[in-house]
Amino acid sequence: MATQKTPLYDDHVKFGGKIVEFAGWLLPVQFSNLKDEHQNVRQNVGLFDVSHMGEFRVKGVHALKTLQWITSNDVSRLNAGEAQYSLLTNFEGGIVDDLIVYCIQPEKDYLLCVNAANIEKDFEWIQKNNQGADLVNESDYWGQIAIQGPKAEALLSKVLGEEVRGISNFKFASIEFQGTSLFVARTGYTGEDGYEVFVPAEKASVLWNELLSVGKEFDICPVGLGARDTLRLEMKFSLYGQDINDHTSPLEAGLGWVVKLDAKDFIGKDKIEEVKRQGAKKKLVGFKMMDRGIPRSHYKLFSFDNKQIGEVTSGTQSPTLGDSIGVGYIDVEFCKLGTEILVEIRNKKLKAQVVSTPFVKKGE
């Protein structure tokens, strides 16, 4: 039974959030209904509690050396106030976790944001492969609130000041709120414009309620895990534990762009290079249902000659498109755009077609 609660748990209960267990946490799956929350993020602005995410501080003279060894991207390219999507890789070339690295002071001070379900696993992995950095698990210190949607900038500038308008994509800044220092990052998991704010846990409720109050003029609504999942899937953003895991090659998952094989040595580099030389045998692709049915995780994928060619990792009914969409790993010969495949749903094989992703373009 989940026992962990975010600093905003009581606020969610008061607001009528439907609470469920997720990754050991009690979190709202929805407040009104999934479709309305989803569409409000696409059209106006939505507020997400992501305080369950993990935060690690990596500091000291060997901070950069450590991060270069444990992550796939090139951390040396980051200047102060810049962030980077990356992967923790294992020695088999699989993915321990996906994360964002925030550079507070080049070479000496970084904040890592990792997935909630992997906090203990990731921290142990980093400790085990530390190259001399000072490591602190700050997950209990921070709350985290995401403000996402086309009206996010206007709202946040009213609450935190005009300085937030100057924060560009994958940049962040330290901003004061009621005497407390926050990290305000121009990042998010929806494909829309927006921010993720790292706020000390004791101030999270104050900031949350201020955003909801000021946000009324921007048609704000709080958003649960349900719409967070449909929003990220429309963008084909990977969910750890479903679309990627310890056995996934980044090259199979379409994440080769955050793997800098030519820039440095890092854990699992040799195995990833081997996949690159030989060519990935399967790849993560997006598909849209042609027949009526909703694909779900672990549903089998077939070719038209009844050969199993892969498996669904994530699927849903897209609130934006009105179509059923999914992603899954399939044999490379069936990855070409326009290829028709079959999805086994309740013992029936239904038609689908491989399509380009993201399924929804920003602003649509």
Domains, in order of start, for the chain? 4-51+140-234 (3.30.1360.120), 54-137 (3.30.70.1400), 281-355 (2.40.30.110)
List strand residue ranges (DSSP E) for 216-360, in order.
220-223, 282-289, 300-302, 308-317, 324-331, 340-345, 348-355
Look at residue 364 in the predicted model and tell me its pLDDT: 57
Tens-place pLDDT, residues 262-284: 999 999 999 999 999 999 999 99
Look at residue 238 in the predicted model and tell me its pLDDT: 98
Tens-place pLDDT, residues 187-238: 999 999 999 999 999 999 999 999 999 999 999 999 999 999 999 999 999 9
136 token code pair: 């602190």
Q: What is the mean pLDDT of residues 117-131?
A: 98
Output DSSP code: residue 190. Answer: S
Q: CB-based contacts of 186: which residues, under 8 Å, 6+ apart?
A: 167, 168, 169, 170, 171, 172, 194, 195
Q: What is the mean pLDDT of residues 48-55?
A: 98
Q: Are 18 and 224 in contact (CB under 8 A)?
A: yes
Give residue 361's pLDDT band: very low, low, confident or very high (50, 70, 90). confident
Q: How confident is the prediction for the chain on average, in pLDDT?
A: 97
Statement: residue 324 has pLDDT above 90: yes
342 token code pair: 């079959």
Look at residue 42 in the predicted model and tell me its pLDDT: 97
Q: What is the mean pLDDT of residues 93-107?
A: 98
Q: What is the mean pLDDT of residues 178-195?
A: 97
This prediction has a pTM of 0.96
Statement: residue 2 has pLDDT above 80: no
Look at residue 3 in the predicted model and tell me its pLDDT: 80
Look at residue 65 in the predicted model and tell me its pLDDT: 98
Q: Are 128 and 120 in contact (CB under 8 A)?
A: no
Residue that is written with structure tokens 């390219």 in the block = 77
Statement: residue 363 has pLDDT above 80: no
Rg (alpha carbons) of the chain, rounded to whole number: 21
Tens-place pLDDT, residues 38-51: 999 999 999 999 99
Spatial distance between the Cα atoms of 324 and 221, rounded to a whole number of angstroms = 25
| Overall residue count recorded for the chain in this entry | 364
Calculate ∠ Cα 87-231-253, nearest 5°. 35
User: What is the percentage of the chain residues whose pLDDT exceeds 90?
Assistant: 98
Spatial distance between the Cα atoms of 74 and 183, rounded to a whole number of angstroms = 22
123 token code pair: 């921290």
- Note the helical H segments in the chain: 9-14, 34-43, 63-70, 119-128, 152-160, 201-214, 225-234, 269-278
